[in-house]
Every structure is written in C-alpha cells, then in structure tokens.
A and B are shown apart, each in its own frame.
Chain A
Amino acid sequence: MLDRIVEFSALLRRHGLRVSLPENMDAAAALELLGVGDKATFKSALRAALVKRAGDTQTFDELFDLYFLGLGTESRRMDEELMRQLGMSPAEFQAMLEEIEKFLENLDGQISALAKALLTGDMGEVERLLREAAGAERSENPGLRVLMFAQGIGDRIGVEGVRIEIENLKALLGRGGAAPEMIEKMAQYAEERLRNLLKLVRELARREADTKDPTRPERERHDYLSQKSFVYYTEDDIRKMNEVVVRLARRFKNRLSLRRKRARRGRLDVSATFRKNLQYGGVPFRIKLEKRRKEKPDVVVLCDISDSVLNASRFMLQFVYSVQDLYSKVRSFVFVSDLDEVTRLFEENEIHQAVEMALRGDVIDVYSHSNFGRAFEIFYREHWTAITPKTTVLVIGDGRNNYNRANDWVLQEIRRKAKQLVWLNPESRMTWGYGDSEMPRYAPHCHVVEECRNIHQLYQLIDRIAA
C-alpha cells in the first residue's frame, strides 16, 4: 500500500498540489490506524493528510477516482446500461448470468479465461487481466499515445480471439434447449459484452495515459489566466476572474495594513515615560511608547473605459470595485472623453451589475473617442478636491489620445499635490509613443508607470506600490 500512496502523491504533485514527505508519512500512519476497508474513510484520511488547500479538493477527488477506483464505476454503469437495453430487472439479469455460467461450465476447457470472465460478468477479473496486459504493453513499448496503446492492449489480451469465441458460442446456444427468446437475449448480451470489452480497453488506455503522462498538467494549469493578456480574454475567462480579483484586492489590503502595523509600533518615548511615572516617584512603572499616526489609504482611481481597452478595463473595474469594497476612502472615476464618478454606483450595486452599468454608458457616453486631455481637464475642474496630500492616484489607460490636446499639466498638478501618482497601461511597453499614444508626455509626471497586461504583472505591481 505504501508504494501506492507514494505514487499517488507523485501524481498529485504533477497536478500542482504540494505534497511533502512528512505528509506522505502522515497518510501512511493514518491508513495504519484506519485500514483500507472502507472507501469513504480511506478517502477522507488521505485528503486530511495530503490536501491542505480547499481549492485543491476537486483535483484530489478526480485523481483519487482515477487512481484508486479503477474501472469499477465504469463497468457498473455498463451493467446498468445492459439491463436497460435488454429490458431486464436486476434479478432477471442475475438469473441469466447464472444460466450462462452453467452453459459455459459444460464447455470447460474450450473457452478462454477472458471470455469466461466477461460473459459471466466477473468484471473484477476482466480488469485484472486488462491491467496485466497494459503493464506488459507499457514496459515493452513505452511512450505510446492513447489509441496505439489501446490497440496494443487489445492485441495482447486477444480481443480478436474473444470475438471468434463469442461467434461460436452463439451457434452453440441454440443446442442448449433454452427458450428461443432467452437464446436471443443471450446472443444480444454476448455481443454487447464484446463491445463493453473494447470500451474498457480504451478507457483503461486513456486513464493510464492521464495518470502517467507528465506533460498533461502543464497543459491544464489553472493559473494560465494570470499570464494571459487582457486583450485575449474570452467571456468565460472574465467570469472566472471574479475570484482572482477578490484575492488581488485582499492582497493589496494586506500589503498596506502590514506596512501600517510596522509603523504603528513606536520606540520607547523616554520623556513621556518619565512624565507618566512621576507619580511613582520616577520609578518607570508604566512604559510609554511613541505612537505613530494611523494612515488610512486614500485612493483615487481614474479608469479609461474606451473600446480599445475594453477587456482590460472590465478587469480593472472589477479590481477597483473590490478595492473600494475594502476601504472607506476610495473614489472611482471612469472616462472616455467625458469623466464622471462611479463611487456611488459601485457602493450601491453588486459587482457584475455595477461594472456592466459603468461600461454600458450609464454614467458617461462610452461611444465617443478617447480624449485623455479633456477628461483630465474635467477632473481638474470638477473633482480637484478629491486629491489631498495623502492621496494615491491610480490612472488606468492606454494613453491613446486621438491626437487631441494632451493636457499633461493636470498630471503635473496632481503630482505636486498627491502623495503618489501611478499609471497602469494595458498596452505593451513597446508600442508606447507610437501613433496617437501620449505616454512619453504623461510618463515623466508619474511616480510609477507600468505595463500591466495580465494578472501576473498586476500582482508584482501591487507588491511594489504597496510595500
């Protein structure tokens, strides 16, 4: 059993779970205590010892079934299917199986083990034979693809032979003296069983390939999203993103509060300590520490929602929404050519709805051409009070201004007044400054200018901005 566990852990690891040696030992110890008799208990024990993240549970469940349950579920399903096709109740089905068994006993020695197991419904034995063949095939011809592998197993186990045997049997059935409809059913049954056998061979080959092929997990890595550029996001990706966004925002918050906490713990304030302890005759009874002022993050977000950056801004708005959810002092603005505040909209609506409303043009006209200059000017004229010396201003946009006036003096003003000015650009850095991109004029005014094309980059950014 131990080597099975070790092999299973290796399989888990290949699928991105982190399983360490002590955890393997735990699993082994747990099984020693519980035994392997009960399937559910066995599974719970393994999960408790090996899987430590809730998100990995599903992967574990799938792999567990694949690895430990074998073809049992599959063949049970086939039995049910057969009963349905033949229109038989489980009892009738069982009776027929017994009939067949008796019949086969008379032919003793003339029939192969596989055909016998198959026809009497002994699927455990069938699976054993199949696995034997698969093992032999694997060791002789490693590296076969699924189809070739299935072919190899089939040849080895003698599927062709079984086919002939079943044909012969059907001819023999008539001589047994059973009722004609029974004979017909048996013939039909035998044919279906042959088909089942082929199916099982293929299934086994597929599973073997799944569990043994080391390249598979790479192709199915869950976090492929994080490396994918926003531009190529599909509808499906966007839906999946919600969870990622919430995690991101939380990380942002954790980062900031960690910094705040470090700052809060002041050093010993000598003079205050003395003053406080005069009442004890100068003996330092009560210690006084320096107190630092708490800094509440104060964020203003300006988000471009024009067509050119639609997918990115959808993501960014979700992010902004989540950030706003976590902090009290966040003000969010969206712009294309006009600019308006969406703070209230975000407060009052649920995330998807709010984002859709913002993008649909409930607040501003989204069908105009981007005009950063004009939007900045409006911000300066109407919302300038949003900015205080403690504000971090976050601009999200590609800086494509349609050759309008850049008005970069607004950024200059913001920089002068705010604590920090950050620009995130969902375009590749290579393209900045080409065409109508005004990035070279905007960039010098910002403390941080970063390309932010996928979640991975955003992660790194958050660590840098907030740390």
Chain B
Amino acid sequence: MFKSVDEVVSRLAEERYIASREVATVVYLAAAMRKPILVEGPAGVGKTELGKVLAGTLKLDLIRLQCYEGLDEAKALYEWEYAKQLLYTQVLKDKIGEVLEGAKGLRQAVERIAQEEDVFFSDRFLLPRPLLSALLAPKPIVLLIDEIDKSDTEFEAFLLEVLSDFQVSVPELGTLKAKHIPLVVLTSNNSREMSDALKRRCLHLYLDFPDAEREMEIIRLKVPGADKKLAAEVVELLHRLRKLDLKKRPSISETLDWVKALTLLNVKSLDDALVTETLSTVMKYEADIRKAQQELKEYLAVRKAKVAQPAATSDKDFLN
C-alpha cells in the first residue's frame, strides 16, 4: 500500500491531513503488517479523521461502525431479516402446502420442511451490518470502528475474533472468512481502559494536540485566507489555554472555527474587542469562558511586555 514512511506523510498531506512522522510510522506499519491501529487521545485531535483520510488516500471504500453503549452483535455484525422470512412463508403458504402434500404423519412433514430449511437461512435473508460487510467486501476496504470505548466489554471481547483472525462464525452458515484483510482503525477517547487482549492485537497510536508548528500548518491548510500573524497568536494562546484545568479543552476543530470566525470578522490581532466576544467558539462552558478571558488578558499583557523589548520580536518567536 505504502512504500515508505515518507510516502505516507506526503500522501496524507495530499488528502489535507498533516501527519507527524510518528503517526506516519504507525500507519505504515499497520498497512504493511496488516494489523489494526488503536488510536487514542483527547477529543478533536483528528482520530476519526485519520481513518477517513486513510480510505481517501488509498482509494478504498470506508465502512464505519459507530460504537455506543448497548451495541451488540446483531447491530454490528448481521441480522436475520425476520420480517422478510415471515413474509415469504406467508406468501409461499400454498407452495409449502404442495411440499407437504401426501406426507404421512407429522414426522414426515417435519422431515420435508427440514429439507427446505436452508432456503430460509440463506444469504438472501441475511442482513449484513458494518462488520460483516467489511469482511465480505469484494475488494480491500478501510474499517473504521469509532469510539470503541463507548461499547460494552462484551462487545469488545466479541471483536477479538474479528480483529485477530478476520473471520466470524454464523451458526447457520458456518465460518465466514474475510476475502481481503481490511485496514482497521479503532478510535478511543479513553473513557474506559480497553482490555489488554484487544490492545495486544493492535498497534497503538497516541494522538495528542499538535505542537504549535504543526497546528500552524493545519491552519494554513484549512483556512487559507487567515492572517499569518493572527494565526500564530491564536495558536500560542490556545496552547496556553490547553494547559489550564478546563471542563473541555479546545480541540483543533475549535481552533479552526475560531480562526475562521476572526478572519471573517476581519480581526488582525488578538487585542481586538471582538476577540472576547468570539471566545464562545472555542470554549463551550461558561466557567471555561471566564477562565479563557482571564488567560487572554494575561497573554496580551505578556505580549505587550515582549513588544516593548525592541529585539527579537517577529513571527518566529510566536512559533517557538
């Protein structure tokens, strides 16, 4: 799929995803070793995005399974179409009557029905859910299992068979084996610790908030019209904000929203009055907004002091 780690970086960049070398290394290994990737990290650092972009880069179909509490095999793997089966039996009543014609006694009737049994438990009445469609896909695909930490431990245990052998057992049909081993990306917000058994089967990738330089790069890519100096200031402030004890730390998407908003409002520098008013795009709780305002004030004070010193005040400083 990929020839080298560098190729991963450049091809992900083509899909507008800025990957650090570490991310690229793990992706490369996963593709080459045919192992699932378990991506962990705070909300909004691009975990799900990684899965989507991978599919885009490799020009593969993406099958996504969103996990939630109470998700079970029936919803993730397959279901028998009970209603359709019943409908068919109703419609075929006469035909069934024909089959049973001349049967002597119940035993023989059951015998005859049993011979036709597999008609009703065939692919026709099997409703494949994401996991099964991923395994049965005629060409390689990317399987994204999102927020695995939201699912129950039972489901996680069930996933083990799928992830290690890429096969599932359907009692009526036997074992179904994957035609192509899919590239699997699992994401987790770490709201609960995943079992060691699952972790053992995956390569682990911890995505954290990007460093200032990479975040700048992301802004440049996603908000092409943004003022460079403003973007640098925003990134620096956000890095400070993320260190605070907040209910919800601002993620990359919120950075982008804010930069977009400020750019639209034609704000050129963070000491603008509009900045305080748009803080709500970054902070989602009242208490957080108050803290952010405080931090903003301090930041501006520090910056003013810096500007007062004539030497070494350029964009570079903000980047560092």
**Footprint of B on A, CB under 8 Å?**
18, 20, 22-23, 26, 29-30, 33-34, 40-41, 44-45, 47-49, 51-54, 57, 250, 254, 257-258, 261, 283, 285, 287, 348-352
Contacts and interface: CB of A to CB of B under 8 A. Distances in A.
Interface in B141-163: 152
Interface residues of B, number: 35
A45 B29 contact: yes
Nearest to A40: B21
Contacts of A283: 86, 90
B35 A52 contact: no
B136 interface: no
Contacts of A45: 25-26, 29
B196 interface: yes
Nearest to B245: A350
B38 interface: yes
A99 B203 CA distance: 51
CB-CB nearest 7 A-B residue pairs: A52-B199, A44-B25, A44-B22, A48-B203, A48-B26, A52-B204, A54-B206
10 contacts: A20-B200, A22-B200, A26-B203, A34-B29, A40-B22, A52-B196, A52-B200, A53-B193, A250-B191, A283-B90
A54 B21 contact: no
Contact of A44 (B21, B35, B38): B21
Given A40-B21, A48-B25, A52-B196, 12 more contacts: A26-B33, A34-B29, A40-B22, A41-B21, A47-B22, A48-B29, A54-B190, A250-B191, A261-B152, A285-B83, A348-B287, A350-B287
A52 B29 contact: no
B204 A33 contact: no
Interface in B259-290: 287
Contacts, number: 76
Contacts of A30: 29, 33
Contacts of B206: 54, 57
Contacts of B41: 54
Nearest to B29: A30
A326 B205 CA distance: 28
A52 B25 CA distance: 16
B69 interface: yes
Nearest to B193: A53
A49 B203 contact: yes
A363 to B, nearest CB: 19
A130 B101 CA distance: 94
A52 B38 contact: yes
B13 to A, nearest CB: 18
Contacts of B302: none
Given A40-B21, A54-B40, A350-B287, A48 B191 contact: no
Nearest to A284: B86
Nearest to B72: A265
Q: Select the residue from B5, B152, B191, B204 with max chain A CB neighbours within 10 A.
A: B204
B32 to A, nearest CB: 5
Contacts of A33: 28-29, 32-33
Contacts of A287: 82
